[in-house]
Amino acid sequence: MAEAATSRPVATRYAMVGFGGRASMFLDPIVRDFPEQARLVAGCDKSFRAFDYHLNRVRSAYSAKVEPRFFRDDEFSRMLTECKPDAVIVCSPDYTHERYITGALAAGCDVITEKPMVTTAESCRKVLEAAGRAKGRMRVAFNYRWSTGTTHVRKLLQDGMIGNIKHVSLDYFLDTMHGADYFRRWHSEKACSGGLIIHKATHHFDLVNWWIDGIPEEVFGLGNLAFYGRENAIRRGDGKWTGYDRYTGKAEADDPFKMDLSQDDALRGIYLNAEAETGYIRDRNVFRPDIDIEDTMSVLVRYRGGQQLNYSLVAYAPYEGYRVSFTGDRGRLEYEELHRSHLITGQSDEELAAQQKAGGRNITIRLTPHFQKQQVIHVQPDAGAHGGGDPRMQAAIFDASLGRDPLGRDAGVEQGAASIMVGVAANASFISNLPVRISQLCPIKPSAVRLGELA
């Protein structure tokens, strides 16, 4: 009797929403690394030009044949009906996430969403409810969890090297290249991004939640626009840089914040050429008068397990990176990561990794148990963008042969909620000048104490 032919596994059918700068995080590994396991069948965006730019880029870079159907952003439901994807990847602007996540879950699809999951308490409640009814699986793409340095910290803490953690302090600083770029884009509008306390800090709150295996409960915050914006520039004596609404074709030659979209292939292909379709201006002046997000933030967080977090974020530092310290009942661990900043312009993983390598990535851990000599550990990040984190996360998403991650780096819907709700509560505290309880805004499994108890 002849042997039965071995059947090939059926590739997961993906649809992707959003073809801006973040699209390469998901499109490239599908085409380059997992062509037998993953197939992009549809794309959805306001701009066909941006969609076409990315497809031509990966076809050329990887000699790949990829022919997804294109749908406008108002054709999302039709895309789900006609293309029947198994999973939907959401990397559109933050304020649109709720619609796409809940729609995909209702259609029976798995969902992979860029961080932040959503930006408001109302949207968070709706997504949690939708996920509770859905058959599909949802995950939030926190690539910081997967980097070499952060993983090393997780292992040390998990092994009890400093005992039970009582206090965490994290200071993050964006420089005047990367930090400024948020103030050129839609991120500078609170209604679109929730501000940097949600869009950017969701990474940092998630890291702390994951590192200490904790669920945040009460938040007090202070926030201010202290550097960007027209009034701040004039007050400093930089008024000459406030006289134009955008940079391309208008900026003063000596303006250190200028950006020319026409001089970069990705910026030109994704944004400048698409302006007639979308109306979106990617290079708005960081010193214009209508910015309503903060660039200076301080937040205190109390966890359900009693731990405390002291967090700060500034978006106009002279260099970029962060420092975090953990104090436990058996010692202290300090982690510092200084690295080159970047602009999200649709770089491939290889381009971003090369840029970071050129600028260096200085990672140091200082471990000081009580009554013992301090150990200094220098960490060399593995190959790949974001300190080796992107390739690991992408494999976890697209490689069906991999088992469950023993370090719990996959984040589901409830863990995504635990991250963004710190920022949501901080926004409320910015206004009220009072502490805010997360459970009063969006209950997240009230009986749970540890992050690991959340989906």
Euclidean distance between CA atoms 69 and 86, whole angstroms = 15
Specify whether the CB–CB gap between 116 and 423 falls below 8 A. yes
Q: What pTM did the predictor assign?
A: 0.93
Sheet harboring 69-72: ordered strands across? Answer: 69-72, 38-45, 12-17, 87-90, 110-114, 138-141
Burial class (CB in 10 A: 0-12, 13-18, 19+), 133: exposed
CA-closest candidate to residue 77, choices 99, 49, 50: 99
Angle between helices 76-83 and 97-106 (to 10 degrees): 30
Structure tokens given for 221? 């915050």
Phi-psi region of 422 (alpha: psi -120 to 50; beta: other; left: phi over 0): alpha
Sheet harboring 361-369: ordered strands across? Answer: 375-379, 361-369, 331-339, 321-328, 165-175, 308-317, 296-303, 216-224, 436-437
Cis peptide leading into residue 9 (ω within 30°): no
Phi, psi of 253 (to 5 degrees): -60, -30
Structure tokens given for 277? 């379709």
Euclidean distance between CA atoms 183 and 290, whole angstroms = 10
Q: What is the per-residue pLDDT for 344? A: 60
Euclidean distance between CA atoms 327 and 307, whole angstroms = 10
Q: What angle do CA 135, 141, 142 make, to 5 degrees?
A: 130
Per the document, the length of the chain is 455
Strand 321-328 and strand 216-224: pairing? unpaired
CA-closest candidate to residue 345, choices 223, 224, 162, 178: 178
| pLDDT single digits (tens) 133-164 | 999 999 999 999 999 999 999 999 999 999 99
CA-closest candidate to residue 87, choices 9, 79, 8: 79
Strand 216-224 and strand 331-339: pairing? unpaired
Specify whether the CB–CB gap between 313 and 177 falls below 8 A. no
Residue 23 CA: distances (Å) to CA of 106, 262, 448: 23, 20, 34
Low-confidence ranges of the chain (pLDDT < 70): 1-10, 340-361
Euclidean distance between CA atoms 438 and 217, whole angstroms = 5
> Identity (one letter) of the amino acid at 127?
V
SS3 content of the chain, % helix, strand, coil (to 5): 40, 25, 35
Euclidean distance between CA atoms 51 and 396, whole angstroms = 25
Residues 6+ apart with CB under 8 A from 304: 214, 215, 216, 217, 448, 449
What is the DSSP secondary-structure string of 172-225?
EEEETTHHHHHTTSGGGSHHHH--HHHHTHHHHHHHHHHHHT--EEEEEEEEE-
Q: Which domains does the chain have, with CATH numbers?
A: 12-143 (3.40.50.720), 144-228+291-384+412-450 (3.30.360.10), 230-278 (no CATH)
Euclidean distance between CA atoms 443 and 201, whole angstroms = 20
Residue 81 CB neighbours (<10 A): 10
| pLDDT single digits (tens) 47-56 | 999 999 999 9
Euclidean distance between CA atoms 166 and 413, whole angstroms = 26
What HEC string does 236-264 produce?
A: HCCHHHHCCCECCCCCCCCCCCCCCHHHC
Euclidean distance between CA atoms 371 and 344, whole angstroms = 45
